[in-house]
Structure 1
Amino acid sequence: MTFAVTPVSGVLPSGALGAVRPTEVADPASGAQFASVLGSIDSLQQLQSTSTDLALRAVTGDLDDVHDYTIASAQASTALELTAAVRNKAVEAFTEIMRMQA
């Protein structure tokens, strides 16, 4: 059985979560993958900040195109859901590893 993977291009900024690959094994001492995860979280915070700024501009009437806020809000929401799903899978994997050691 094969599965097709649909890219989520346009939803997250380039490189937001692209540096984390589950099949790659990195040198644990380098910490490069952990740094990329932190960069992904910074990217998520930036998306949420942009969405909040555009929401304030829309409420005060300073925003010319309300579609900009709608798009930014959808991007921030999707990025947050993706981040939460990745976190949940990581916790689930850790729990399973701990269960195997017991």
Structure 2
Amino acid sequence: MSLPAIESIGFQPSIIPTLPTDGASVVGTGSTRSVSGSGFADLLTDGLDRLEKVQDKADGLAVQAATGDLDDMHDYTIAATEASVTTQLTVAVRNRALEAFNEIMRMPIG
């Protein structure tokens, strides 16, 4: 997915993994990983690590803005917005996963 208007300001949505359309494999950093099993767990862990990095960046810029050490306020605004959107996406994915799990648990055995 490419958004020229967003890319022109230097924003790169690094938290959203790119999944193939056939669902067979995930292209990572030069390697192909399976979507099932530990590969899926790795994707979740990687996504949460990226979320933490985005939030840490926004927190660091917030401290700089509060102390007067930040030259460009728009850097903080962009980082805070990116952290907010990333958190909202993570919560939405978690909610959908919980809904799917609960639906599976309601299925009759037999």
Taking structure 1 as the reference length, the TM-score comes to 0.78
The counterpart of 2:46, out of the listed 39, 47, 56, is 39
CA, structure 1 residues 50+62, in 2 after alignment: closer, same or farther (shift >3 Å)?
same
Q: Percent identity, aligned pairs only?
A: 37
SS in 2 for 1:101: coil
* Alignment gaps of 5+ in structure 2: 25-34
Cα separation, 2, equivalents of 1:34 and 1:20 = 14
Q: 1:18: Cα distance to partner?
A: 1.2
Q: Which amino acid aligns with 2:13?
A: L
Q: 1:94: Cα distance to partner?
A: 0.4
Q: 1:17: Cα distance to partner?
A: 3.2
SS in 2 for 1:55: helix
The answer to whether the 8 Å contact 1:48/1:76 transfers is: yes
Q: Which has the higher strand share?
A: 2
List aligned pairs for 1:1-102, cutoff 5 A. Answer: 10=11, 12-13=13-14, 16-18=15-17, 24=23, 26-28=35-37, 31-101=38-108
Q: Tell me the C-alpha RMSD between the 2 structures.
A: 2.6
Cα-to-partner distance string for 1:10-56 (whole Å, 9 max, x where unaligned) = 4631xx2315679736343xx01211110110000000000000000
* Alignment gaps of 5+ in structure 1: none
Greater relative contact order, per chain length (Cα 8 Å cut-off, separation 6+) = 1
Moved over 6 A (4+): 5-9
